Structure 1
Amino acid sequence: MWSIGIYVLALLIIPITYWILHKWRTCPSNVKLPPGSMGLPFIGETLQFFVPSKSLDIHPFLKTRLHKNGPLFKTSLVGRPVLVSSDPEFSHFILQQEGKLVELWYMDSFVKLVGLSGSVKDGSCIIAGYIHKRLKKLVLDQFGPLNLKEKLLPEVEELVNRALSNWRSQSFVEVKQACAVMIMNFTVREMYGYDPEKRGEIMAEEFTDFFEGLMSLPINIPGTTYHKCLQKQKSALKMMKKLIEERQASSEARRGDLLDLIVDDMKTNKLLTYDLMSYMMFGLLLATFETISTTVTLIMMLLTEHPLVVQGLEKENQEILQSRENIGSKVTWKEFRSMTFTLQVINESLRMGNFVPGFLRRAIKDIHINGYTIPEGWTIMVVPSAIHLNPEKYNDPLTFNPWRWKDLAANVTAKNFIPFGGGVRLCPGVEFSKVLIAVFLHVLVTKYSWSKVKHGEIVRAPIMGFGKGYYIKLAEKLK
């Protein structure tokens, strides 16, 4: 009995001791922390954070705490103290302070799945600053406005035409998966000179829904999202490494693409190992096809429920066709820039979508805000959904209303519209994403009509996805 009593006592003392130490480390007596709860010992409020939500609204975990504590509150997620921000001014400030007050930080699952474990310490990047700067330049060279204008725009239109023609030939398609294949096949060719159709492999199958694992609990047990993603990761990384080796082995294989630039960099920089660059190539593909395919799926869902928006898109894009001297010509850069309403639809979908739950940074110094202190070492999570769905900035924020964008001033959107992040981490693929989606919508509404076959449900867990899929039937418009 004594041994049992000691055992039970030990079980009680260990978590209590940990909690006391945890509070001592994260809450110095001489600082005032923002309001909020650190939750239970060890797990904090992690379980509540990962509870699925089936709505475009702010996740209940965030909404409840923002209502109770205001735009800044503290919590604890996956064993780490976190400051959550929905304050546009403070969030904008933090995203501009990388290398000064904050550094990039990743959840443990992201670190392991995207392969930064050799270049991070406790989730923060050590060499990511250099890697990010170089990769950002490479991506801008390949997918920035200049190359889009001179080379990629007509290729994107050809891609969309082929994809939608293929969709029309099928009884129905699951939009997310079909978009993922379309975008993957294009980007993997443009980045790495890899042709899935010729090689008989569909890489999108290795990547689909991988994003869910990036923000999951890092529990490597069969059946968990994280375990499934690790299995997919292995085959994808093997493919990436093989591409590098093939390109290095033959000078005749050079294509002037992103992979050529990566191989050249590897010759002069010993930091750029096979493993690291395989992971970087892998991460670039994830960032490209997953976010765009999710955006397009959401747009299709919203358009199906809002026929007046479809009419607005048809009107604008038909006028572009009618203004051409050559009926068979492709979309020009000038025409893309003139797609005012189309771009408003894209912005409104991005505002409502909020595909990632937050942008993460870690304080490298104590940060003082509104009388509170964010201690060094704390994670800061900027929450785009709370900023994008703020009724003080966006009237009736849960209503899909693309027309609202014609009245929004630039000084409002600068700090209240951050779907692509901000500061030095602003996504370099912004323009490419908008071009691809705009051209997709242009071809869709000028050539096709569609009907819903099966209405999937929006699921945030916490990354946004579509439970059971969203299926449509595409039909060619009568001329």
Structure 2
Amino acid sequence: MWSVWLSVISGLLIVFSTHWLYRWRNPKCNGKLPPGSMGFPLIGETLSFLVSSKSIDTPLFVKKRMEKYGPIFRTSLVGRPVVVSSDPEFNYQVFQQEGKLVERWYMDSFAKLLHQDAARINAGKNIHKYLRTMILGTFGTEALKEKLLPKLEDAINEKLQCWSKLSSLEVKKGTSAMIFDFTAAQLFSYEPNKSGENIGESFDNFLQGLMSFPINIPGTAYHRCLQNQKAAVKIITNTLEERKRNPEIRKGDFLDQILADMKTESFLTEKFITYMMFGLILASFETISATLTLAIKLITDNPKVLQELTEEHEAILNSREDADSGLTWKEYKSMTFTYNVINESLRLGSVAPGILRRTLQDIQVNGYTIPKGWALMVVPSALQLNPKTYEDPLAFNPWRWQDISANVTAKNFIPFGAGMTSCAGADFSKVLMAVFLHALVTKYRWTAIKGGEVIRSPALGFGNGFHIQVEAKHDG
């Protein structure tokens, strides 16, 4: 009798498992799903996605599947069904229909760090509009023109002077700390020298750790991310509480304005403010530092680029009536070749492996259906390193930007996203890089010491770091 029941139970388990596996590999869809594979149950193709490649090219995970399935394919990452797109026309359509076809969405590891679930992220247009207005008010074009430009130049000059006294500088770590400190200072008047701990220096390669498998065990890269996040959140929380206890404290920063608005905006809770500010810092220091490090690496390896860049910036100095005056907005706008260098670094860098959205309805594309509720990943590197769009796409060629039309870049150059929710810090990123390059090439010379191998894991990184020695120019 027991053997009969055991046979029945075993048979049911086999039937159930087979059906479950079939449903995993063939998700429900009111139409035809894009081609692809869902990988193993639960983990999907996550392990393949996280494999590092020693190349600046599009991640192997995406490149191999594009060759096999075409520009749009399906997969599963960390248990979530995902459609990956490198189709410029479709991507453009999606970004233009933000809030109708798709909404912003983060992988669980990002959402956990920012303590924001999808409902909170997409809580309403009014919240997004408010935050975008606040960010532009602090880091946008007008703020840069009126007050941030000289502050940036002073902060960069101070850092470069410190670095010139070191026997070796790991560029990504140094620039990450510099940008972290500057951004945090504008947000909540953070002063690393007075805090007792310069946490900006601990955020090196944060994005790579965040893109690792999300296992919170001591010794893992993801665990280090969580520990660093906790340290930053603690400082922000302490500052917020101190300001609330002492309303007479006025720093004229982002936090001052937020605290004033808490009286009228119900969504501005202490928790929301804390993690929102951490998110802003994360978005700035990680992406800008990686792109800036890549730019310095590429310039170092291309003497012709360095020569033209130096000539442009020395011409700015030579045209001044007062040689000791700081950079002006007019001078920044005159940096034509510098702007080309920055664009080319952004094109090659594609720091984040993808821009994520979640579908709000079934979407039809090229005869396929992307089901409602699925994640959509737009891959900037697949667009920006496409040989059909950019000749010799892996070559560092700033001069290519002299002839590229706006029609091409509108759909094939998206370092800051696209559409209504493009990055509000785009101008800040470009100005910071331009000011840094100005100070670097006019006042210093540098030598590559070791490292600098570009990797994608799948975020942009540098194998064994990129170490240089910085030396002040004694001839002026």
TM range (shorter): over 0.9
Query: Is the CA contact (8 Å cut-off) linking 2:215 and 2:222 kept in structure 1?
Result: yes
Q: Secondary structure at the match of 2:448?
A: strand
2:18 corresponds to which residue? 16
In structure 2, distance between residues paired with 1:303 and 1:381 = 31
Taking the TM superposition and a 5 Å limit, the aligned residue runs for 1:126-137 are: 126-127=122-123, 129-137=125-133
Output one character per residue of 1:158-209: Cα deviation in whole Å (capped at 9) or x when no partner: 1111111111111111111111121122111111112112333212134333
Structure 1 unaligned blocks of 5 or more: none
2:45 corresponds to which residue? 45
Is 1:295 the counterpart of 2:295? The answer is no
> Aligned pairs, how many?
473
Aligned-residue offset at 1:223 = 2.6
2:106 corresponds to which residue? 106
Taking the TM superposition and a 5 Å limit, the aligned residue runs for 1:49-128 are: 49-117=49-117, 120=118, 125-127=121-123
Aligned-residue offset at 1:95 = 1.4
Output one character per residue of 1:308-362: Cα deviation in whole Å (capped at 9) or x when no partner: 1000101111111111111111111011001000010000001000110111111
Query: TM-score when scaled to structure 1?
Result: 0.94
Is 1:171 the counterpart of 2:194? The answer is no
Q: In the alignment, which of 122, 130, 152 is matched to residue 156 of structure 1?
A: 152
Aligned-residue offset at 1:128 = 6.5
Stretch moving more, 432-441 or 89-98: 89-98
Amino acid at match of 2:343: N
Amino acid at match of 2:281: L
In structure 2, distance between residues paired with 1:18 and 1:228 = 36
Taking the TM superposition and a 5 Å limit, the aligned residue runs for 1:136-151 are: 136-151=132-147
Aligned-residue offset at 1:459 = 2.5
Query: Is the CA contact (8 Å cut-off) linking 2:25 and 2:37 kept in structure 1?
Result: no
Aligned-residue offset at 1:438 = 0.3
Taking the TM superposition and a 5 Å limit, the aligned residue runs for 1:400-479 are: 400-479=396-475
Q: In the alignment, which of 177, 180, 189 is matched to residue 181 of structure 1?
A: 177
Aligned-residue offset at 1:298 = 0.7
Query: Is the CA contact (8 Å cut-off) linking 1:33 and 1:372 kept in structure 2?
Result: yes
2:264 corresponds to which residue? 268
Stretch moving more, 59-68 or 177-186: 177-186
Aligned-residue offset at 1:130 = 4.2
Taking the TM superposition and a 5 Å limit, the aligned residue runs for 1:158-237 are: 158-237=154-233
In structure 2, distance between residues paired with 1:259 and 1:347 = 32
In structure 1, distance between residues paired with 2:289 and 2:13 = 48
Percent of pairs identical after alignment? 53
Seen in structure 2, the aligned counterparts of structure 1 residues 236 and 478 have a Cα distance that, compared at 3 Å, is closer
Seen in structure 2, the aligned counterparts of structure 1 residues 224 and 27 have a Cα distance that, compared at 3 Å, is same
Seen in structure 2, the aligned counterparts of structure 1 residues 261 and 76 have a Cα distance that, compared at 3 Å, is same
RMSD: 2.0
Aligned-residue offset at 1:244 = 0.9
Query: Is the CA contact (8 Å cut-off) linking 1:16 and 1:41 kept in structure 2?
Result: no
Query: Is the CA contact (8 Å cut-off) linking 2:54 and 2:456 kept in structure 1?
Result: yes
Q: In the alignment, which of 234, 238, 242 is matched to residue 242 of structure 1?
A: 238
Taking the TM superposition and a 5 Å limit, the aligned residue runs for 1:23-38 are: 23=25, 26-28=27-29, 30-38=30-38
Output one character per residue of 1:85-113: Cα deviation in whole Å (capped at 9) or x when no partner: 10111111111211101111111111111
Seen in structure 2, the aligned counterparts of structure 1 residues 197 and 8 have a Cα distance that, compared at 3 Å, is farther
Is 1:348 the counterpart of 2:350? The answer is no
In structure 2, distance between residues paired with 1:256 and 1:186 = 15
2:251 corresponds to which residue? 255
Amino acid at match of 1:394: Y
In structure 1, distance between residues paired with 2:138 and 2:335 = 23
Output one character per residue of 1:398-447: Cα deviation in whole Å (capped at 9) or x when no partner: 00000000000111111110000111221111111111110110111111
Amino acid at match of 2:416: F
Aligned-residue offset at 1:44 = 1.8
In structure 2, distance between residues paired with 1:7 and 1:325 = 89
Aligned-residue offset at 1:135 = 1.7
Query: Is the CA contact (8 Å cut-off) linking 1:109 and 1:216 kept in structure 2?
Result: no
Stretch moving more, 301-310 or 35-44: 35-44
Aligned-residue offset at 1:20 = 2.8
Seen in structure 2, the aligned counterparts of structure 1 residues 306 and 137 have a Cα distance that, compared at 3 Å, is same
In structure 2, distance between residues paired with 1:374 and 1:44 = 18
Q: Secondary structure at the match of 1:449?
A: strand
